[in-house]
Structure 1
Amino acid sequence: MPRQIFQLKVSLVGVHPLVWRRVLVPAGYTLDRLHRVVQHAMGWRDCHLHSFEIDGTQYAEPDPDGELAVRDELDVRLDAVVGKGSRFHYTYDFGDWWEHDILVEDAVTADPDERYPTCLAGERACPPEDVGGPAGHQVLLAALVDPAHPEHERLRDWAGDAYDPDAFDPGRAATLLRHLC
């Protein structure tokens, strides 16, 4: 039977202008592998906790202390919990609380000449880690474009010269996904 591929649109909630990615992933991926896809496609560095919420159920790495009621993401295949048209959430960094809306836009048969996962498209750079969530990201964007902003110099130094909030290269993201996932 041919492999099924899900086309996902991953959008960062609460940021303007919108930061999003369109990726193709094998439908048989477990949620822990999807976590890695989202990390690499968005540009996160995977240095914080995360979870998925699908139809009211939380999936994540098991809590060693057993305090959080989550299902183990290693045990759950994507195609077992979602299908074409499904929408679910992925939250990264419980301090900054980066919520991602994930829509299963399509389900297609794998192209034998294509390598998966891959990134087809997207817009804008992922916010820097530890910027303070969507509100901190808005302050950063405002400060970067206004030399008279009281935080302009500090935040420009903090973000670094390489940070361009409008930049995104889907080819680079696709290469990362092929090598790291």
Structure 2
Amino acid sequence: MTQKIVRLRIELEAIEPCIFRIIDVPISTNLRSLHELIQTVMPWEDYHLYEFTVGDRSYGEPDPEDAVWGRKVYQAKSLRLGMLIDRGVDEFLYTYDFGDDWRHRVLIASVVDAEPDVDYPVFVGGERRAPPEDVGGPSGFMDFVEAISKRSHPQYKDMVRWYGGPFHPTDFGAAEIKSRVRELALRRKVSYDAFQRSRGMRDN
């Protein structure tokens, strides 16, 4: 049976011009694995908590304190993209860092057959560099870009020092992201092959 591949478009909300990434992932991908992939393609540094919102349900890493606040958070690894597609879901929300509140709109663009001899996931493309960690959310990021883009700005030197160098909004490092996704795909392939071999040994 031919594996199905889902094309996702991930857009960072509340920022103009739009920052987005496009990726192709197996339909069997669960939300925890998708979290790891989004961290890779933006890229973020996975310092903070995350959560997916699908309809009225939240998926992430459940914490006992969630019940104290009357919240129910389901395991992200329990929900796969194929299950969402079967339900007719065509978009959902991914939130990273509840302080800065980075909200990503995840759109299911298409479902196609996998290409032979391609290791998925695959980075397809995107536009514009993602915000630095802990910059202060969308409004903080807009202030940061304004300050670091103008040498005459009173906060220019402070922002360059804080960031560690110049910031180029349109150069998001596509080649580096593609390489990182390729490495991630290889690691997952090795893990899957090892799992299949161990299962075969048990069956024998």
Separation in structure 2 between the aligned mates of residue 162 and residue 3 of structure 1, nearest angstrom? 42
Provide the TM-score with structure 2 as the length reference: 0.83
User: Based on CA coordinates, which of the two structures has the bigger radius of gyration?
Assistant: 2
Q: CA deviation at 1:162?
A: 5.2
Q: Hey, what does 2:158 align to over in structure 1? A: 154
Shift of the 110–75 alpha-carbon distance from structure 1 to 2, 3 Å rule, reads same
Correspondences of 1:46-61 after superposition (within 5 Å): 46-61=46-61
Q: Hey, what does 2:16 align to over in structure 1? A: 16
Q: Hey, what does 1:25 align to over in structure 2? A: 25
Moved more, 145-154 or 22-31: 145-154
What is the alpha-carbon root mean square deviation over aligned residues? 1.6
Q: Hey, what does 2:102 align to over in structure 1? A: 98
Q: CA deviation at 1:66?
A: 4.2
Q: CA deviation at 1:141?
A: 0.6
2:89 maps to 1:88: no
Greater helix proportion: 2
1:75 equivalent among 75, 78, 95: 78
Q: Hey, what does 1:115 align to over in structure 2? A: 119
Q: Hey, what does 2:192 align to over in structure 1? A: none
Report how many aligned residue pairs link the two structures.
181
Provide the TM-score with structure 1 as the length reference: 0.93
Contact kept, 8 Å, 2:8 with 2:22, in 1: the verdict is: yes
Structure 2 unaligned segments of length 5 or more: list them: 186-204
Q: CA deviation at 1:118?
A: 1.1
**Counterpart secondary structure, 1:129:** coil
Return the letter of the residue paired with 1:81: L
Deviations 1:99-147 (A, max 9, x none): 0011111101011121111111101111100000100100011001222
**Counterpart secondary structure, 1:115:** coil
Contact kept, 8 Å, 2:100 with 2:134, in 1: the verdict is: yes
Deviations 1:16-61 (A, max 9, x none): 2211100001110111000011110111001100000112211001
Separation in structure 2 between the aligned mates of residue 148 and residue 4 of structure 1, nearest angstrom? 52
Identity rate, percent? 35
Contact kept, 8 Å, 2:148 with 2:167, in 1: the verdict is: no
**Counterpart secondary structure, 2:65:** coil
Return the letter of the residue paired with 2:2: P
